Structure 1
Amino acid sequence: MIYPLIILLIILVIFLFNNLNTKVKKLEREISELKNLVDQKKTSIKEEQQKIQTSTPLSETDKQPQKISIDHPEIDNIGDSSRQEKDWLTPVFDFLKQNALTVVGIFTLVLGIGYFVKYALDKNWIGEAPRVGIGFLVGVGIIAAGHFLRKNYSVFASIITGGGIGVLYFTITIAFREYHLFSQNISFFITCLITLISIALSYYYKSEILIIFSLFGGFLAPLMISTGESNYLFLFTYITVLNIGMLAVIFLKEWKSVGWVSFIFTNIYLSFWTFEKTKILSIYFYIANYIIFYLFALQNYLKKGALLSFDILMLVLINFISVIGLVYIFNTLQYEPVIIFPIGFALVNLFLLYKEYSKKSFDINYSVFTGIAISLITIAVALQFKAHLITSVWAIEATLLLFIWKKTNNLSIFKIAFYVLFPLVIIAQMITWTEYIDAKKLTVIFNPIFLTSFITVITTFVNLILLRKLSDTESKNFDFFENIFTIVSYAVIYVALLLEILYHISEKPWIVIFSIAMLFTLYYIFIILLFRKKLDINKILENALFYLFLSLIIIDTLVSGSGIVSNYLSKKVSLSFYGLYLLYWIPFLYIMLNILSKSDFFKVKFSFWFIAAAFITAISGELYHFYLLINASQISEVSKLGKHFSLLYLPIIWAVLASFFIYKGLKNDISEYSKIGFALIFIMILKLYTYDVWEMDNVSRIIAFIILGIILLLSSFLFQRLKKIVKKMVERKDENQEIQNSES
């Protein structure tokens, strides 16, 4: 029953194809006729214009040279490397739009043939050998069809031929794995023969698409005929030979995509071998891989003396992937010295750098070779000090990509690669930090974890400097990503330094750890704010850091200060540590006196209240701590003395501070400070009459009221006097203005 249906389907397909082919030919004839008519019309118009020009004398304006405007985008784009870089995906999308149906069609056809063969096998219509024969015949038939269509439909024919080659590969795989018709050696020989034939057809047809199909088959062939045994020597000898053939094709035809396909497959195989079964033998193949793909990256440089964007990307990738693989093998097998590979690769790049220097050429090529050579030497130094391999290499590679992006007139491929790699650097660094948990007896600074963090810190800081030089246009376009990157970068530097400090004080009391962490954080923010202009910190981040700094001052005073005093009275820490804690006043006072006044922090009225809260908390807190240190001899006395301080001394302190804010507000004509002063007086009076007065003894109540009364009267007198002074100043200013107006 199935045969008549298949025959009927084939006849129907032939009929439809013939019908469509007739219509297409008819349309082609009509288009050709229309084209001839248009050409004839253009010729007649030109002849008429020439007759008019010869018969009519030229006027003075006609004799002047005319400006010629060229609207062709192909001409406009010549030399515009940045625009070419942006449109590098356009040919790919054009190909997919024009040939998507063809690709889907050939894939569907191969699947259909496969399902038909499976159905035939299930019904036992044909034996094993005939099944393989049918597969070969179908594959050859599809290739033959592509051959006859190549003249008029080159792309379509290439895809058809690629599908035929795929059928041949799958046929030999089934013949070997399922039916055991061939031995492994014969199967491998046949797959190599198919690969060679497909490469020859690609070269003969001048088809880049077809050779990509061939390479896919060539690299997948070892998997198709694998028996599960790990014969890596045979496998990588085959891959090396395949890559040498690929390199020859690239130098003859300049098909760059072929090299990238080979690079991806080769490194997948090498990585799997390296991590599954680490052997010294794999080093030779890494070196061979390095030479082949370095020549691939330099192909355009050797011919024309210039590096294209993807050539530079290949140089970066092959250097760093090779370093990671080779150093991993040496570390696993415990060979020394591991720095031989990054130093060796650096020498290769230094040779090319010297070549550029000899020519006195200091353009993109010079910058690229310089950046790669310095990066490899940096990796060598890091590895010599036992820094972690992956984290260090990725961090340096990310910085190199950013450096090349800046040196190649902002080609976007390197910026994209940087933004992809930098999160991986952060993840790798976070994994490295987890080793602090179980680490024992690490030396200060010179330990593998911190040295790795130090590499990340330095490269991250360099990244921030490189990103500072963005133009205004770029800054607007990438403002969000740049802000996120900036915040993450400063966070990475902060955590890397803090974790090293915390590890070495981890056996101290919790208050010591917390206080040192707070002190480090305050100084870290202080340094960023101090150099905010040189670091190009934007206004939003700058103000956020101000608020964070002031918030930490409040937390530090309330938690660290009180905790240190309690631990000192409990004999857990020394008094000298309290002196260390007080060092936070240096950045605090400097920021209040020298930095805040020169920033945009006070454009928002809330900022006055925030800094006042931090200042009042710090002054009140430190006076409270001094009071306890002077009067308390043991921890049990803290509660009683604290209550006494709150009832008697705190209202006085607040009254003095309120007077200070009122005075500052009147003197500098800043109403917010005056409001803060009056608000503090209101809080103090409310506290005094609702709570303090009921908790005091008679003597304390008398003293508090007398002192507060005197302070308030003096404040009131000062307020009135300043008010008169300000009024006189205003009146004198108005008089001077009137005199000037009358004179004029």
Structure 2
Amino acid sequence: MTSPLLLIFILIILVSWVYYKLNRRIEILEKQISDLSKKESQENEEIKEIQNEEVILPTQATSYNFTSTATSTDRKETEQEIQKDWLVPFDFIKNNILTIIGIFTLVLGIGYFVKYAIDKNWIGENSRMGIGFLAGFILIIAAHFIRKNYTIFSSIIMGGGLAVLYFTTTIAFREYHLFTQNTAFLITCAITLLSIFLSYRYNSETLIVFSLFGGFLAPLMISTGQSNYIFLFTYLSFLNIGMLITVYLKNWKSVGWIAFIFTAIYLYFWTIQKTDLTTIIFYIVTYIIFYAFALQNYFKSNTLSKLDILMLVLINFTSIIGLVYIFNVLRYDPLSIFPLAFALINVFFAFREYQNKKFERNYSVFAGIGISLLTLAVALQFKTHLITSVWAIEASLLLYIWKKTNHSIFKVFFYLLFPLVILSQMMTWTEYINNEKHLTVVFNPVFLTSLVVIASCFFNLILLKKESKEKSDTEFFENTFKILCFGVIYLSILFELIYQLSSLHLVIILTYSFLYSIVFTCLLLSIKNQLSISENLENLLIYGALLLFIAHISSSQIVNAVLSKEIDLSFYWVHLIYLLPLLYFIIKLIPKSQFLKQKASYWIVSFVCILSVSFEFYRIYIFSNNSNYKNLFEHQEHFRVLYLPIIWAVLSCSFIFAGLKKNIPELNKIGFSLLGITILKLYLYDVWQMDNVSRIIAFIILGIILLMSSFMFQKFKNMLKNLVEKDENSADEEI
């Protein structure tokens, strides 16, 4: 027992002696610096007096300009201060990291010493508690005496002392049961009041942060596991009211944010653990407190900083999530009552700005939040999914506020929240599979939620359209965002379509799905300028459309389904609807794009055309011959051997004709390539499969087509030659 105490005593003496020597040396240096600064200030005053005698008084106009310049300078300084507010906590930690680590280490050291003394049975339970309280008060008293010269250092030391008092109370209650829960709670409240008084007395934001942490952690420290949420949230409400008063008196914003985070955690945890109607009262009280916190600068100077705007967004939407969740679980109606009530509050402030003819940042923020809440109220009234709808609308609101305020923090939060919207929407889609009841067409919770997300995506795309069209480092992310938006819109409608058609034949489902996909892609391409779609994204959409055409044309099992009487023949006309977007795609969309700059593009588009004509003539041939499963193979073989070469020959001539007319060499190559394939197919395969009559017909028709193609080729060749000679002659005449 003697040796550890002796060692500690010696260490304390050594540390005190070193501290005394260092402190003495620092005082001497401070005195020297003070003398030098006084001397320098005297010299500066003498120089200013000499300059003032020579300066001529400025005119009134000059004075006015100087004033306006000073005002603008003050504004810039204010803006810089607002920008720095976000980094204040990080700067504080960076500049005082050693002090923070030191006090943390000291508290741990005291704790380990007390533990060591307990293990050795040196002190009893009451003595242990007494040592803890004594150590805490010693630190607080020491901080009191050094507060004038070392403000921040003393605040951290005092915060450490308060931490010791909190932990001592907790251990005395939980481990040693020296007093009841009520007594422990009163002691923690007293410590919190003491810390608030000291922070206000010494004007220390650092100290009140320590106090706030202790105040919010106190219920956890003395918790016994029993549910007494009314007492808990009453205590938290009073603590938040104290926070609000402190913020309005001292303008300590960090205090409000810490209180908001702790309060939100408590409220959400309790709402999920035990959903109770009484909790609504505490949600409303919390909303009023933190809404007032967000409007502190607005009431004082009619301005909203970026953190104030962020708090307005968070307190509105976090409160609605909790309140609507409670109503939904307890099956109360209407769910839209809370979004409507909060919307009216924001609309009131927007109307206030409107009456004052101020249509700047404040008006945009209040109006944006109000409209978003009204939209959410409509969405919830139609029983949409809460989290997905809230996040989608909140994401759009953040993007809107970023466009109005140009504060990048809102754009960052938008890009963080939007992936969560996508994930939440994907979880919403799973209800098409898991839902046991049949969902009504369109007016069902899943698709109505999808409509909210679709509206949000369109709104986001319109806002981002105003971004710079020049290529930048963010082009990849913007293209990715647009692809995600298009994907969500496309899949939302597709899944609803598939779900509502799920009771029909698979061919019908696939046909409608492909038709919808083709129309959707062509629609995007037709409004590419309005959506500011980049060249790379446009090419990607064109390739996607071509693949959809190929898949729809070649994979359709409509012939087999009609022949087996599973679907009616009239449905074939629905299948042919794709020809309209295909013609529009080839005639209107492709020529206006940069897609044709690539030589391979002509080959892909031509392949789609050949595929379409070949398959549709095949289906018409099968249906017109009243085929059935018994003679289907025979008719297929007859079409493949006799009619397909003729169709390809006609197409090849068409490609050659178009290539010559429009002077596109690639079309000529495609036409001759298809003609070569047709001839090879005819001589290597078809001739051996035909009867004599079919062989004669095929050779005659194919021969006529080849002769006509050759004639047209020669004619256009001579025509082009004459045009070239005519141009050369006219050029010689001009010379």
Query: TM-score range, shorter-chain basis?
Result: over 0.9
1:114 aligns with 2:111: yes
Which of 485, 510, 518 is the aligned partner of 2:481? 485
Residues 135-284 of structure 1: matches in 2 within 5 Å? 135-284=132-281
CA 315–438 in structure 1, closer or farther in 2 if over 3 Å, else same: same
Counterpart contact for 1:323–1:341, Cα < 8 Å: yes
1:540 aligns with 2:536: yes
1:315 aligns with 2:317: no
Secondary structure in structure 2 of the residue aligned to 1:476: coil
Residues 663-742 of structure 1: matches in 2 within 5 Å? 663-740=657-734, 742=735
CA 311–49 in structure 1, closer or farther in 2 if over 3 Å, else same: closer
Q: CA deviation at 1:526?
A: 1.1
1:574-626 per-position Cα deviation (integer Å, ceiling 9, x unaligned):
11211111111111101111121111111111111111111111111111111
Amino acid at match of 2:587: L
1:623-680 per-position Cα deviation (integer Å, ceiling 9, x unaligned):
1111111124212433222222222222221121111111111111111111111222
Secondary structure in structure 2 of the residue aligned to 1:593: helix
The aligned counterpart of 1:61 is: none
The aligned counterpart of 2:365 is: 368
d(CA) in 2 for partners of 1:427, 1:315: 25
Which of 474, 496, 500 is the aligned partner of 2:496? 500
Amino acid at match of 2:228: N
1:429-448 per-position Cα deviation (integer Å, ceiling 9, x unaligned):
11111111132221111111
1:200-247 per-position Cα deviation (integer Å, ceiling 9, x unaligned):
111111111111110010000000001110001111110011011011
Q: CA deviation at 1:548?
A: 0.7
1:12 aligns with 2:6: no
Secondary structure in structure 1 of the residue aligned to 2:550: helix
CA 337–148 in structure 1, closer or farther in 2 if over 3 Å, else same: same
The aligned counterpart of 2:59 is: none
Q: What is the identity percentage for the equivalent residue pairs of Structure 1 and Structure 2? A: 55
CA 709–201 in structure 1, closer or farther in 2 if over 3 Å, else same: same
1:581 aligns with 2:571: no
d(CA) in 2 for partners of 1:202, 1:239: 19
d(CA) in 2 for partners of 1:297, 1:636: 79
Secondary structure in structure 2 of the residue aligned to 1:79: helix
CA 81–616 in structure 1, closer or farther in 2 if over 3 Å, else same: farther
CA 447–49 in structure 1, closer or farther in 2 if over 3 Å, else same: closer
Deviates more, 1:670-679 or 1:643-652: 643-652
d(CA) in 1 for partners of 2:40, 2:669: 85
Counterpart contact for 1:85–1:412, Cα < 8 Å: no
d(CA) in 2 for partners of 1:129, 1:380: 58
1:266-288 per-position Cα deviation (integer Å, ceiling 9, x unaligned):
11111111111111111111111
Deviates more, 1:629-638 or 1:669-678: 629-638
CA 529–345 in structure 1, closer or farther in 2 if over 3 Å, else same: same
The aligned counterpart of 2:413 is: 417
Amino acid at match of 2:673: A
Counterpart contact for 1:146–1:158, Cα < 8 Å: yes
Counterpart contact for 1:632–1:641, Cα < 8 Å: no
d(CA) in 2 for partners of 1:82, 1:392: 34
d(CA) in 1 for partners of 2:142, 2:232: 33
Counterpart contact for 2:82–2:305, Cα < 8 Å: no
d(CA) in 1 for partners of 2:583, 2:171: 80
The aligned counterpart of 1:616 is: 610
1:103 aligns with 2:97: no
Deviates more, 1:246-255 or 1:675-684: 675-684
The aligned counterpart of 1:62 is: none
Counterpart contact for 2:522–2:581, Cα < 8 Å: yes
Residues 542-621 of structure 1: matches in 2 within 5 Å? 542-560=538-556, 563-621=557-615
Q: CA deviation at 1:387?
A: 1.3
d(CA) in 2 for partners of 1:498, 1:316: 32
CA 497–729 in structure 1, closer or farther in 2 if over 3 Å, else same: same
Amino acid at match of 2:456: T
CA 720–27 in structure 1, closer or farther in 2 if over 3 Å, else same: farther
Q: CA deviation at 1:113?
A: 1.6
The two structures, once aligned, show a CA RMSD in angstroms of 2.5
CA 144–175 in structure 1, closer or farther in 2 if over 3 Å, else same: same
1:414-455 per-position Cα deviation (integer Å, ceiling 9, x unaligned):
111211211111111111111111322211111111111111
Which of 511, 514, 517 is the aligned partner of 1:515? 511
Residues 423-438 of structure 1: matches in 2 within 5 Å? 423-438=419-434
Secondary structure in structure 2 of the residue aligned to 1:506: coil
d(CA) in 2 for partners of 1:92, 1:698: 94
Counterpart contact for 1:77–1:84, Cα < 8 Å: no
CA 86–523 in structure 1, closer or farther in 2 if over 3 Å, else same: farther
Residues 72-83 of structure 1: matches in 2 within 5 Å? 78-79=75-76
1:456 aligns with 2:458: no
Amino acid at match of 2:412: I
Residues 337-348 of structure 1: matches in 2 within 5 Å? 337-348=334-345
Counterpart contact for 1:243–1:262, Cα < 8 Å: yes
d(CA) in 1 for partners of 2:444, 2:538: 34
Q: CA deviation at 1:537?
A: 1.3
Aligned length: 723
Secondary structure in structure 2 of the residue aligned to 1:537: coil
Residues 647-658 of structure 1: matches in 2 within 5 Å? 647-658=641-652
1:561-585 per-position Cα deviation (integer Å, ceiling 9, x unaligned):
xx01110011011112111111111
Amino acid at match of 1:399: S
Counterpart contact for 1:77–1:83, Cα < 8 Å: no
Which of 21, 32, 42 is the aligned partner of 2:23? 21
TM-score, normalised relative to structure 1: 0.93
Amino acid at match of 1:327: V
CA 687–81 in structure 1, closer or farther in 2 if over 3 Å, else same: farther
CA 74–651 in structure 1, closer or farther in 2 if over 3 Å, else same: farther
Secondary structure in structure 1 of the residue aligned to 2:96: helix
d(CA) in 2 for partners of 1:611, 1:232: 68
Which of 619, 625, 644 is the aligned partner of 2:619? 625
Secondary structure in structure 1 of the residue aligned to 2:121: coil
Q: CA deviation at 1:24?
A: 3.2
CA 737–180 in structure 1, closer or farther in 2 if over 3 Å, else same: same
d(CA) in 2 for partners of 1:160, 1:342: 45
Counterpart contact for 1:346–1:376, Cα < 8 Å: yes
Q: CA deviation at 1:378?
A: 1.4
Q: CA deviation at 1:495?
A: 0.8
Counterpart contact for 1:632–1:638, Cα < 8 Å: no
The aligned counterpart of 1:465 is: 462
The aligned counterpart of 1:646 is: 640
d(CA) in 2 for partners of 1:488, 1:218: 44
Secondary structure in structure 1 of the residue aligned to 2:570: helix
Unaligned runs of 5+ in 2: 57-61
d(CA) in 2 for partners of 1:652, 1:23: 106
The aligned counterpart of 1:288 is: 285
Secondary structure in structure 2 of the residue aligned to 1:226: coil
